[in-house]
A and B are shown apart, each in its own frame.
Chain A
Amino acid sequence: MNAPLAIGVIAGAVLSGTSLLYATLGETITERSGIVNLGLEGILLIGASVGFASAASSASAYLGVAAAALAGGAANLLFGWLVVSRKANQLASGLAMMFFGIGASALVGGPFVGAVITGLPKWRPSFLAGLRWVKSTTLFNYDILIWLAVPVALLVWWALFRTRWGLGVRAVGESAAAAFASGRNPAMIQYQALFAGGVLGGLAGAHLSLSLTLTWAEGMTAGRGFIAIALVIFSKWHPLRAIAGALVFGGAEALQLQLQARGADVSPFLLDMIPYVLTLLVLLAWGGARRLAAPAGLGRTFYGSE
C-alpha cells in the first residue's frame, strides 16, 4: 500500500468512523444497562432525517445536530417504554423500532430530499494547517462532531467506570436484582441509559447527513446500526476500545471507497460486502471468550421482588 492510499484510508477512516463511534458508544451504554437495541439502525435514521430536516428548515447545521440528538433520545425512550415498562422481548422490539425508524425517517426527510444545506463547519488547528502532507487531505480538518468524538468516548468511559451513576448502570446490566437490592430503581436507570444512548445515536445519524454526505436519502445508513452493534461486542463493551474498533471498520469502508476511486478493477459489490463479512469474521474469531465480557443481565427483563 503506497503512502497516498494509506493516508487516504486513514483520513477516510476518521470520517466514516466517527458516526460509527457515536453509535457504538450509545449502544455500549444501553447494553451495559442490560438492554440490546437492534433498532439502532432506526435511531440513526431518525437522527439523520431529523437533523437534515432541521438544518434545512432553519439554515443552521448546529440546530440540526441538537434536534437529531433529542430525536434520537426520544426514540430510544419509546423503545425503553416497550422493553422496560412493558417488559417486551428486546429483540422483537428492536426490530419494530427499526421499522419505525425507516418509516418515520422517510416521512420526516421526504419533503427535504434534494434540499441543499450548508453542513457543519470544519476547521483545522493552525499549527497543523501548514504541514504539507496534511494540507491536501481531509486530515485534521474536522467538524465539531469529529473533534468531540474521542473526548466523548473518554467521557462515556469515565461516566461508566468512575461515577456512582455508572456503577449503578453497570450493576443493572449485570444483575438487576442486585441493583434493586441496593436501593436503586433499575427501570429508571435503564431509561437514563437509553436516553443517553439515543442521544449519541442521534448524533451518529446527524453526522452522516450533516457532514459526510450533506444529503438525505431513505435508508442512507445502510446497515451502520448493525455494524455498531457488532462493534460493541468487538470492543467488549468498553468505550475506549470502541475507538479502535470504529477506526478499523471506518477504515474498511474508506479502503473500499479509495479503491473504487482509483478505478481498481474490483466489483463495487464485493467491496461493499467487506464491513459485514469483516464483522462476522471478527465475531467468529472471538468465539466463546467474548461471552464472559458481556454484561450478565444483557437481554433479560427484570420482574422485581414480591
Chain B
Amino acid sequence: MSKSVRSWAFPWLGLISVGLFGFMYLPILVLAFYSFNDSRYSTGWKGFTWKWYIAFLNDSRILNALANSLIVALFAVGIAAVIGTLMAVGLAKYHFPGKRLYQGTAYLPLIIPDISIAVATLVFLAAIAIPLSGGLIQLSLGTVIAAHVVFCLSYVAIVVSTRLTDLNPHLEEAALDLGATPDQALMQVLLPELMPAIVSGCLLAFVLSLDDFLIASFTTGGGSSTLPMEIFSRIRTGVKPDINALSVVLITSTGFLFAVAEYLRYRSDRKRSA
C-alpha cells in the first residue's frame, strides 16, 4: 500500500531537491574557493594562498567594526533576554485589558520591514537628540543597542512563549502547593524549564543582531560602524578577496553557533519526551 503512495509522486523529486541543495551551498562554496585563490581579479584558479585571511586579520577597520558588532549584539541580547522572558511569562500568566494589543505590538517587529523600523527609530532619535544636541542622547553604539533590543525582544519572547505553551501548566502550582514562595516557584521551577528556549531565542537574536545592516546604519550616527556597515561600504565597489576570507570565517563561526543551538534544542526535546 505504502508503495503505491510512493510511486504516484514526482519521480524527479529527489533530483530537484539535491539540485536545490547545490543552489543553497553554491554561493558559499564560491566564496570559499575565491578566498584561497591567489589572484584578485581572475575567475580561474591561480594557486593557494592565505594572504586574504592575513589581510583582513590586519585590517583594523574590520576588526573595530567586528568589535562594535559584538558589543551591540551582546548588550542587546542581554537586555532582551531579561525583559523578553519576563514579558513572555507575564503574557502567559496574566489576563488584563489590552492584552491582545500588547501582544500584537510585541510581535510587530517580526513582521514590519527592517527599513520601516530603521526609519522610525531614526526619526524618533532625531526628534529627541537634535534638540538636545551636545546634550543627553547622541547617536552612537548605545542607540544601536536600544534599537536592536526591540527586535531581539520579540524573537526571545516568541521562542520562550512557544516553550511555555508546551509546558505543564500545573508545574508552578505544584511548587506553590509544596510550599515554595512565588519567587522560588519562578526562579527554581519555571526558569530552569525555560532555559533551553531562552538560550536558543538568544542565539537567534544574537545572529540577527550581528546580521543587521539597516537598523544599525540608521541609528549609529557618523561615528562608529558595525561589521555589516563596513562590509556594505566595501562590497558596493566590487568583489574583494579579503571580504571573501572574512565571509568564510563568519560563515564557519555562525554555522558553529547554529549547531550549538540545535544541539541544545535537540537535548531539551529529548529530555521532554523522556
Q: Indicate whether A and B interact.
A: no
